[in-house]
Structure 1
């Protein structure tokens, strides 16, 4: 139980530090929207997956309030997605963008599998490691599509529109 609590605290610390250090200050608005978009998508997908026994979280923050792992799925993974989204290469070749996407999804899945195997923070019920890879791929893909759609109109983010002259 102590190891799980230390891992959760480390996720909070690395999440805050990662957002501040790996997202440039001028991109914080974009990173925060990506964070919120991923939270919304993961909430829609996690409710049924935890309800139907695909995943479970024996040790979690606020255990009487919800069965969902708040730290992992609603803070740490959204921070990782916002770092991914802000730092992705929009102008690179298609092959480099696909490789970048698959490397991120694979590393997060590897981290998830290690957490599942060696701690009580997550347990895969009917899901295997490759099912989790597909699940994280789907979350990243849908979140990226939604963020790309939102940031398509650059005129919404010009400073002149928001000034109070």
Structure 2
């Protein structure tokens, strides 16, 4: 087994472990919904990048089915977005912006490490700062959609209490 597939398996194991053990019971739904919102945005964004030959994924799980790396684009990055929104501080806009920039910088660094040391991601006509801007926009839009979707807190609480 190559290093690339070991990294893919490690991302799955870490992601599932984080979701099960680091998500409080009250936040399961929040993480899942935000991950799905982020997943749809990230999927469209990645498809555009691959079609215009900006990014390539030489090593993929399903090479005949899609040109995208399923692990990062459908699972790991959306799950990280879910954790970002689930643990977002309810402070001033400045604190929330610093929190967002910190998350995006760490994820971009991880993506850059994948580009540099593995064959999972290849920047064809791309650079790390485009990744930072992409993640910033995707996480911000995901947060906006999530806030809009759950803006009626009374209804959300009633539904949550009915489930418990």
Structure 1 unaligned blocks of 5 or more: none
Superposition TM-score, scaled by structure 2 size: 0.93
For 2:159 and 2:144, locate their aligned partners in 1 and report how far apart those are by CA, in whole Å.
27
- Structure 2: gaps of 5 or more residues: none
Alpha-carbon distance between aligned partners in 1 of 2:142 and 2:159, rounded to the nearest angstrom? 28
Residues 163 and 69 (structure 1), Cα distance of their counterparts in 2 relative to 1, 3 Å cut:
same
1:12 corresponds to: 12
Partner of residue 151, structure 1: 150
RMSD, matched Cα: 1.7
Please, which moves more after superposition, 111-120 or 142-151?
142-151
* Aligned pairs, number: 163
SS in 2 for 1:158: helix
- Normalization by structure 1: what TM-score? 0.93
- Give the equivalent residue in structure 1 for 2:71: 71
Contact conserved, 1:18 with 1:79, CA < 8 A, in 2?
no
Task: For 1:70-149, list aligned pairs within 5 A.
Answer: 70-90=70-90, 92-149=91-148
Distance in 2, matches of 1:28 and 1:5, equals 28
